[in-house]
Amino acid sequence: MRQTIKLYRTLIVAIAFLATAVSAYAQKPGSSNVDENMLRYRYAERVNRKVSFSTDRTFAERTYLFAGTGIEGLYQLGNHPESPGYAIGSRLGMGFWATPIHGVELSLSYGMMPYGYWGENFLGNPIIENTIIRNAGIEANYVFNITNYTRRDDSITPFEFLYTAGLNFGAGDKFHHGINTSLRGIYNIGSLAGLYIEPKVTLLNFEYVRPSISAGFVFRFKSADQGYETPIDTDKKEPLFALKSNALYWLAGAPNFSIEYPINNRWSVCGDYVAPWSSSFATGLYYQLMMINAEGRYWFGKRDHKPMLTGFFAGASIGGGYYDFMLDNKRTGIQGEFYILAGISAGYAHSISKNDRVRLEYALGLGYLQTRYRKYHYDDFDYVLDAPREQVWKTSILGPTQAKVSVVWMLFKNKKEVRHE
C-alpha cells in the first residue's frame, strides 16, 4: 500500500514538473506563437504573390496551337430514346496567354455522327433510313492555368492542368449555340510540344448535352526558355512531327491522314484518321467508314547518329469507328455500331530525298476486332432490316488489321543548345 502511495506521489510530481516546463516554454518569447505567425506570413505572401512572366515574353512565346480528335456523344435532355449516339470529332485552335494564369483560346471543330432513323414502310416492315449528322463550329474560351496558379510560378513543368470555359456556335442539321467547360491535362514532352487529354461537357441550345473526350498535341511557337528542355544529341536539326498518308487506302477509295510525333530517339506516338464516306442511291453502293487509331511505336537499332523516325519499328495500337457497307448493287448491306480494334504492327521507314523531308514507310499489322452490326436489304421501295431492330449480330475477328505504304513529309526544327554551367 505504501509503495502504491509513493508511486502516485512520484507521478504527480512528474506531471507537475512537465506542466510547469510546457507553460514556461509556451510563454517564452519567439517560440510557437512566433513560428505560427511566420507560417501564416509565408502562406499569405505566397498566395498574394503576383504571378507575372519572369521575362518580357514576345507574342510568339505567349501563343500556342493545339489539335486533337476524339469521341463525343449527343443526348437530348429528358427521356428521348431516339437521341443520336456517339460521333468522331476533330478540333484545331490557337491560344494566347495574357498572364501566366489567364488566357484565351479560339478553335474550330468538325464532327460526323452516323444516325439511323427506324420506322415501318407501308407493308409494315421495319426500315432504316441512314444519314449522317455533320457539325462544324467555333469556340471562344477562357483558360485558367491551374498549375501556375498553385505553384505561383510560370516555368514549364512536366505536367500541366488547365480549366477552360466559354461559348460555342455551330451549324449541323440546324444552327446551335451553347456553353462548354473542360479540364485539360498536358504532358509536356519538351519546351515546344506536349500531349494532352481533355474531358469536356457542352450544353447546346439548352436542349442537348454533348459529352466528349479527346486527345491531341500542343505546339508552342517559341520556347520561353524557362529551364525545361528535353535531352538533345549533336545533330543540328530534329523532327518536329511527320505528316503521312497511306497510298494503299487511297487506292481503296479511303481518304486518310496521319500525324506522328517523336518523343525521343526510341519512342514515338502516331494518330490515324480514315474517312471514306460515299454513297449512291442510283447504284445502291454504300462505302461509309469513319475510323481513328492511336499507336505507340518503339524504334530499334543504334539511334545515336540515326535520324529519328527511320529504321525498323514495332508498335501497339487501339482504335475504333463506324461503318455502313452495301457493295452488291442494292441487295444486302450491313451497318456497324461503334467497333473496337486493338493490335500490334511492325514496319520500316527510310528517306527518299536529299534533304530528308520526304520518306516512305511500310507497315503490316495484326490484331483483334470486335463489332456489333445489323443486316438490311433493299426491297425496291425501302432499305429494310432483316430482323427486328433489337436483333444485333456480333462478330470477333483475329487477323490482319492494317497494311501501309505511306508517303511521309517531315517537318523539322533547329535544335537548341542547352548550356551546362
| pLDDT over threshold 80, residue 279 | no
Long-range contact set of residues 196-202: C-beta below 8 Å, sequence gap at least 24? 196/66, 196/68, 198/68, 198/70, 202/168, 202/178
In a domain, residue 405? The reply is yes
CA distance 382 to 395: 26
The end-to-end CA distance of the chain, in Å, is 76
Average pLDDT rounded to a whole number, residues 275-295: 75
Going by pLDDT thresholds of 50, 70 and 90, the confidence category of residue 197 is: very high
Tell me: do 176 and 212 sit in the same domain: yes
Averaged pLDDT, 112-124: 56
- Statement to judge: residues 217 and 263 lie in one domain: no
Report the alpha-carbon angle 336-337-343, nearest 5.
Answer: 85
Could you tell me which residue, 23 or 260, shows the higher pLDDT?
260
Q: Of the given ranges (91-105, 250-264, 357-371), which has the lowest mean pLDDT? A: 250-264
- Say if CB 334 and CB 287 are below 8 A apart: no
Residues with Cβ within 8 Å of residue 38, at least 6 apart in sequence:
none
pLDDT in tens, 1-33: 454 445 445 444 444 444 444 344 344 444 445
Least confident range from 118-122, 194-198, 250-254: namely 118-122
Q: Which domain holds residue 100?
A: 62-230
Confidence of residue 188 (pLDDT cuts 50, 70, 90): confident
pLDDT in tens, 213-240: 888 888 887 766 544 444 434 356 678 8
Torsion of CA 243, 246, 247, 251, to 10 degrees: -140
Closest by Cα among 412, 260, 289, 254 to 347:
260
What's the pLDDT tens digit per position in 83-107?
555 677 788 899 999 988 999 999 9
pLDDT for position 75? 79
What does the alpha-carbon distance between residue 365 and residue 208 come to, in Å, rounded to a whole number?
A: 39
Q: What is the CATH number of the domain that holds 245?
A: 2.40.160
The most confident of the ranges 1-15, 28-42, 126-140, 194-208 is 194-208
Of 169-173, 302-306, 335-339, 416-420, which gets the smallest average pLDDT? 416-420
CA distance 214 to 199: 7
- Residue 234, pLDDT score: 38
Give the angle subtended at the CA of 301 by the CAs of 357 and 230, to the nearest 5°.
65
pLDDT for residue 200 is more than 70: yes
C-alpha cell recorded at residue 305? 547518329
219 and 343, same structural domain?
no
Same domain, 320 and 365: yes
Q: How many residues does the chain have?
A: 421
CB 320 within 8 A of CB 345: no
| Residue 186 neighbours by CB under 8 Å, 6+ apart | 159, 160, 161, 162, 194, 195, 196, 218
d(CA 402, CA 405): 10
Q: What is the pLDDT of residue 126?
A: 57
For 407-413, what is the mean pLDDT?
A: 84
Look at residue 209 and tell me if it is in a domain: yes
Task: Indicate if 211 and 304 belong to the same structural domain.
Answer: no
Contact in structure between 238 and 214 (CB atoms under 8 Å)? no
In this predicted structure, the answer to whether residue 385 has a pLDDT above a threshold of 90 is no
- Mean pLDDT (the chain) is 77
Whether 159 and 253 share a structural domain: no
Q: Looking at the structure, tell me whether residues 318 and 301 fall in a common domain.
A: yes
Residue 259: which pLDDT band, with cuts at 50, 70 and 90? very high
Is there a domain that residue 8 lies in? Answer: no
Domain CATH for 168: 2.40.160.20
Q: Are 198 and 184 in contact (CB under 8 A)?
A: yes
Q: Look at 294 and 187; give whichever has higher pLDDT.
A: 294
Q: How far apart are CA 61 and CA 271, in angstroms?
A: 27
Convert 140-191 into a string of H (helix), E (strand) and C (coil): EEEEEEHHHHHHCCCCCCCEEEEEEEEEEEEECCCEEEEEEEEEEEEEECCC
Does the pLDDT of residue 352 top 70, yes or no?
yes
* pLDDT of 401 over the 70 cut: yes
pTM (2 d.p.):
0.52
- Is residue 25 included in any domain, yes or no? no
- The closest alpha carbon to 382, from 123, 115, 133, 114, belongs to 123
Total domains in the fold of the chain = 2
CA distance 379 to 120: 13
- Name which of 60-64, 84-88, 209-213 the model is least confident about: 84-88
Higher pLDDT, 14 or 187: 187
What gap in Å lies between CA 416 and CA 172, rounded to an integer? 45
